[in-house]
Structure 1
Amino acid sequence: MRVAFVSMYTHHTRDTPAIRRQHRLIQLLTNTDHEVVVLCSRWWDGEHAKFEQNGIEYRAVDGDFSTKRFVFKLPFALRKESPDIVHVPNSPARHARAVKPACRVLRIPMVVDWWAESDDDSAGDCKSIAKKADRIIVPSETVKTTVREYGASEAPVTVIPDGLDFSLIESAPVEAEFDLVYSRHLDEYANVETFLLALAELRDRDWSAAIIGNGSAAADAERTARDLRIRDRVSFLGDLSDKQRVAVLKGAHVFAQTAEREPFATNLLWGLACGCVGIAEYQADSAAHELVEEKSRLPGTRGTLVSTPEELADEIIVAGDMEERTIDEAYEQYDYSEMLEQYLTCYRGAISDYGLF
């Protein structure tokens, strides 16, 4: 199978959860017998049209990150590569919408990997993508509901959760310095304040906490910790390598998930797999509840859903009576290898169905 990934932006030029998910899938596919090509804007030096890095072949559709030129030249690039299937992120929506006519002419199925919409994506473009994609992949039931609201039919929408490297969790050391952990990119949706307010409720108890991640909201979070008079007990660790982050998670007892926007709560997933008790604050635009609420969580998962900092504090106290763990074997089913097989199954189904028309 030859898979063409169409994305003007790659991990070289943008760092977002959706692009990290896409790059991870590209890496996994590159290590199989399948062929992969990435159609993107030229991020490398020089004028050559193709560039290979770490076994991944990149082809420049344009050289200056111009949406207009990218959209115009894309059909010619697709024709030249002649893939069996085209994989495109839902955002930028204008790019995804432009892919479908080219795929229709070339008789190639288009799979859309739908993570989240950006502020620049129009409702019209999103509706067009949802209705015309041959298959849509989403990371959670929460995102699936959004896609259905844009007009996608039930049949072509497949939930493939974000994954994790379970072998890393098995092999990583245990850093037992912290009892409670929050981990996420600290942007405007991080909502670290809820976690800090809960910790302030427990000021008279014995605990240590770590916040992993960096971003525009980091300074405000540190200021809040000082204002609540708990700064000396909260360590802001910044960005950590995967191995360092897993070591902290394996040593912690509770993972707090309070972010306001999460198409899939990847960090919570890692925390649960590392044996943490997961406590998630309900947010309308977050899928975190899918990992801890009774109706959808894995059997044996230790975690719960809360609505306020006070409830979060209460659940931290309850978690103190639970045994400490450094790994939960049940989460091996979220390993990247399983995620890859689900994508391949979706690709094969799209190719098979397309051949019927």
Structure 2
Amino acid sequence: MRVALVSMLTQNHEETGATVRTRRTAELLAERGHEVVVLCAQWWDGEIHEFDHNEVTYRAVTTTPSSGTFASKVPFALREVKPDVIQVVNCPPSHVTAVKTAARFLRVPVVVDWWSKDDRGSARAYRRAAKSPDAVLVPSEMIRTEVRELGTKSDDVHVVPEPIDVDLVREAAAEERADVVYARDLDEHANVESFLLALAELRDKNWRAVVIGDGPERQTAEQTARDLRIDDRVSFLGDLSAQEIVPILKGAKVFAQTATFEPFATNLLWALACGCISIVEYQARSSAHELVEGRERGVLVTSPQELADEIVAASGYDHWTIDEDFSTYDYRNVIAEYEGIYTAEIDDYGFF
């Protein structure tokens, strides 16, 4: 299958949930033997038009990110690629409209991978983007609700979660560095303060905690730990790879999820797969609760005090290093979902 992924920005421009998801999807499809072309703004040096990386071909539509110029040029780039199916990110929404127009002439289906909305489009533009594709892929039920409210037909929306490498979870050795773990990009949505306030309630208990991740709010979080006088028991480890995070999760007892915005809580998923008792502070703009609802080793709370209470209660659970219930999120299963949706859309498009 020849797949065109359209995303002006890539992980090489900026690391966001959407760009990481696009790169991962492209590389997993390539591993499965598909011919994958990512149409993007150029991120590599030199004057070459294409750049191959990890078996994926990146083709420059523009030399620098420019939403309007990219939208005007991407139809011509798609004609050169001649894909069997096109997947486009939802931001900016004008690119979805441009891709759909080109796809009509190419007679191929368009699938939108919808991570979240941002300020690069008006409400009207997002409604148009939600209604125009043949299918919309979303990472969670929360985002499914968002696109349905924008006008996408229910049958056209498919929840395709973020994947994990279950073999890595099975094979990694446990590393006993912490009892309690928080892991996420430390941006304006991280809400590390709730986690630290909960730990401060437990000063008289014996625990060690780590915060994994980096970002603009890291210094503030470190200062909060000092102000709460728990900085000697909380280690800030910065960004770590999955290969580094998984052993820490397998050695820990509790994972805390407090972020205020989360289209899909990938680090929480890793923690659940590693057997952690996972405590989620409910937030209206976070899908994290979807992963723990109805699970014995998952708890919902609404305040730092409740989070502290549940950390204490976690001592009553056995220590696990893997939960096979989450093997369904393995990357091989998730990429098969993409393939199935592509194939169905290609077949339906040809039929009609």
For the criterion TM > 0.5, the same-fold answer is yes
* Residues 20-35 of structure 1 aligned to structure 2 (within 5 Å): 20-35=20-35
Would you say 1:328 and 2:332 are equivalent positions?
no
RMSD of aligned C-alpha atoms?
Answer: 1.1
Deviation of 1:105 (Å): 2.0
Q: Match for residue 100 of structure 1?
A: 100
Moved over 6 A (4+): none
Q: Match for residue 51 of structure 1?
A: 51
Q: Match for residue 169 of structure 1?
A: 169
Deviation of 1:121 (Å): 2.3
Would you say 1:232 and 2:236 are equivalent positions?
no
Would you say 1:135 and 2:135 are equivalent positions?
yes
Aligned residue type for 2:89: P
Aligned residue type for 1:271: A
Q: Secondary structure at the match of 1:355?
A: helix
Q: Match for residue 181 of structure 1?
A: 181
Deviation of 1:54 (Å): 2.2
For 1:229 and 1:216, the matched residues in 2 are separated by 22
Deviation per CA, 1:225-256: give whole Å up to 9, x if none: 11111111111111112211111111110000
For 1:161 and 1:66, the matched residues in 2 are separated by 29
Structure 2 unaligned spans of 5+: none
Deviation of 1:174 (Å): 1.2
Would you say 1:352 and 2:335 are equivalent positions?
no
Aligned residue type for 1:187: D
Deviation per CA, 1:286-327: give whole Å up to 9, x if none: 000101112xx5xxx401100011111111111111001111
Deviation of 1:48 (Å): 2.0
* Residues 116-265 of structure 1 aligned to structure 2 (within 5 Å): 116-265=116-265
For 2:6 and 2:76, the matched residues in 1 are separated by 13
Q: Match for residue 270 of structure 1?
A: 270
Deviation per CA, 1:14-45: give whole Å up to 9, x if none: 11111111111111111122211111112122
Instruction: Give the % identical residues.
Output: 54
Question: Please, which moves more after superposition, 322-331 or 255-264?
Answer: 322-331
For 2:99 and 2:225, the matched residues in 1 are separated by 47
Q: Secondary structure at the match of 1:45?
A: coil
For 1:185 and 1:335, the matched residues in 2 are separated by 22
TM-score normalised by the chain length of structure 2: 0.98
Deviation of 1:60 (Å): 1.1
Q: Secondary structure at the match of 2:351?
A: coil
Structure 1 unaligned spans of 5+: none
Q: Which of residues 295, 302, 308 in structure 1 aligns to 2:303?
A: 308
TM-score normalised by the chain length of structure 1: 0.96
Q: Match for residue 337 of structure 2?
A: 342
How many residues matched? Answer: 352
